[in-house]
Amino acid sequence: MNKFLLSILLLSIFPTVCAFAGVRHFTFLYEAPTSAPGSVELENTITWAHGANWNDVFIREELEIGITERLQLGIYPLDWSHHSDSGLQYNGGAVELIYNLSNPVIDPVGISLYEEISAARQHFESESKLIAQKNFGRWILDYNATLEAEWEEKGLEEQTGEFQQALGASYEISPRLSVGLEFLHEFVFPDWRDEEKIRNVFIGPNVSYRRHEWFVTVTALAQATDTTDEPDFQLRTIFGIGF
Amino acid sequence: MKKLVIVSLILVGCETANYAPPVTLVMAKATSRAKQDVDVVKLERGRNLFVHRCIECHTLPTIWHYTPKDWTEIVNSMAHRASLKPAERDAVIAYILAVRKQM
């Protein structure tokens, strides 16, 4: 618990010593541009998921660091959640790397590759993404293809695979304000089998506002399918501050 | 399908030309007549930084949208946010002004 409090304290004072990475126009999708080398940003993500008789809250803190012109490192020291049935739980930490291959303005498509590894007690997860983005004037079109592999429970015996496609469009009303849409299509494979044919679709609007060294982006997603275990409604906010 | 691909390529081409035109020898020569320290390498570097750093926060405005004086002020005011060092900031301004001169 002392380590937890110390981490919060360190993350709180970090803004006073460090420099800005980038703005997120979407909250459920990643964008192709990577942070400038030497830039540092703190991103706080809060997701509220509402189901039939339950409410879950997920909180993630990310430290985003630009390593080179094309490589970005993300460190998630704090990843915790609150569930209606089991209460507060710490979900461990994670590390991500994003490598940019092409630019969404001057190349036909902006492509980046993403890999995230997260680990906790009785939990290990790998998340790989292909990020494709194209900027058309004030429009940003974004596509993410994600493959997740998760091992849980004692001996990491429970395995789940998930493939997700996400599509987003954002329109910049002014350099400070954007509005858009996000669409998620999930294919869940318990034990890496597709016998249950679990498909989830979520869709909803987003809004992003930035000013000086900070930004806030909010997305509200509603489930368009009828999967009872999945949330009917999700609200995600990302607040980022650079230094 | 073939038509769709052709139309898409044209759109992509127009888009790039409008927001970040490639550096040309004519552009570099026209600029270097006025300023001795501007060359193709510096303009290329400026374009590269312009299309990478600025889109981290917002889409690119069309270059003709602002006057040369406005552009200098805009880039100076955002240089810290875009983590641009003084030489990088100068390269971005040189590129924008070189493109602006061709318009």
The yes/no answer to whether this complex scores an ipTM above 0.85 is no
Distance from CA of B95 to the nearest CA of A (A): 15
A157 — contact with chain B (CB < 8 Å)?
A: no
Cβ contact, residue pair A20, B80, below 8 Å: yes
pLDDT per residue over A154-173, tens digit each?
A: 778 888 899 999 999 999 99
User: Does the pLDDT value for residue A207 go beyond 70?
Assistant: yes
pLDDT of A9: 45
Q: Share the mean pLDDT of chain B.
A: 84
pLDDT per residue over A10-27, tens digit each?
A: 444 444 344 566 899 999
User: Once rounded to an integer, what is the mean pLDDT over residues B4-33?
Assistant: 70
For residue A28, give every residue at least 6 positions away whose Cβ sits within 8 Å of its Cβ, in sequence order, or none: A166, A168, A182, A184, A202, A219, A221, A236
Look up residue B65 and give its two tokens.
Answer: 């949208």
**Residue of A175, A213, A242 lying closest to B58 (CB–CB):** A175
A20 — contact with chain B (CB < 8 Å)?
A: yes
Residues A200/A225, Cβ–Cβ less than 8 Å: yes
- Looking up tokens 């493939």 gives A163
Q: Model pTM greater than 0.80?
A: yes
Q: Share the mean pLDDT of chain A.
A: 90
Cβ contact, residue pair A105, B19, below 8 Å: yes
pLDDT per residue over A132-158, tens digit each?
A: 999 999 999 999 999 999 998 877 888
Q: Among A8, A12, A72, A70, which Cα is nearest to A40's?
A: A72
Q: Which of B81, B84, B85, B95 to mutate to test the interface with A (most CBs of A within 10 A)?
A: B81
Cβ contact, residue pair A33, B16, below 8 Å: no
Helix (H, G, I), strand (E, B) or coil at B51: helix
